């Protein structure tokens, strides 16, 4: 009985320093760019969207639309702030760009007018 406790204590004493030195390696994010379509696939999700303060509209709201900011990939995540964009016609609707999950990564779907 005493010998079993002594052996267990010795195993714990030897194991603890080994476990304390464990290092977790996080692979840096990387992107794959398709040459033909220019599509960028990033293997890590973008950070959460940032809260933006929307400045005053530069003209009549019927002619302008606020396009929100988004994360872009430039060898790392970079926030690009939103901006006011002129509507191509009075009934134009802005479809916000977004990062979507595809295959083993995230792909950017460009914002556009409809």
Contact 74, 97 (CB under 8 A): no
What is the per-residue pLDDT for 82?
A: 96
Domains held by the chain: number: 1
Q: Is 22 a domain residue?
A: no
Does residue 98 lie within any of the structural domains? yes
Q: Is 38 within a domain? A: yes
To the nearest 10°, report the CA torsion of 87, 92, 96, 100.
-140
User: Which domain, by its residues, includes 58?
Assistant: 29-113
Residue 18 forms part of a structural domain = no
So what's the pLDDT on residue 60?
92
- Residues of the chain with pLDDT below 70 are 1-38
Residue 19 lies in a domain: no
Query: Does a structural domain hold residue 7?
Result: no
Q: What is the pTM of this model?
A: 0.64
Q: Is residue 11 part of a domain?
A: no
- Which pLDDT does position 75 carry in this prediction? 87
Q: Is 15 exposed, middle or buried (0-12, 13-18, 19+ CB in 10 A)?
A: exposed
pLDDT, residue 35, reads 47
């Amino acid at each position: 009985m005493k010998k079993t406790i002594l052996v267990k204590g010795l195993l714990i004493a030897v194991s603890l320093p080994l476990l304390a030195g464990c290092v977790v390696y996080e692979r840096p994010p990387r992107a794959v760019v398709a040459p033909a379509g220019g599509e960028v696939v990033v293997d890590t999700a973008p950070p959460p969207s940032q809260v933006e303060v929307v400045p005053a509209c530069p003209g009549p709201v019927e002619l302008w639309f606020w396009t929100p900011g988004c994360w872009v990939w430039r060898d790392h995540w970079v926030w690009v702030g939103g901006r006011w964009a002129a509507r191509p016609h009075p009934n134009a609707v802005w479809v916000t760009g977004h990062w979507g999950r595809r295959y083993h990564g995230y792909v950017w779907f460009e914002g556009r007018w409809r």
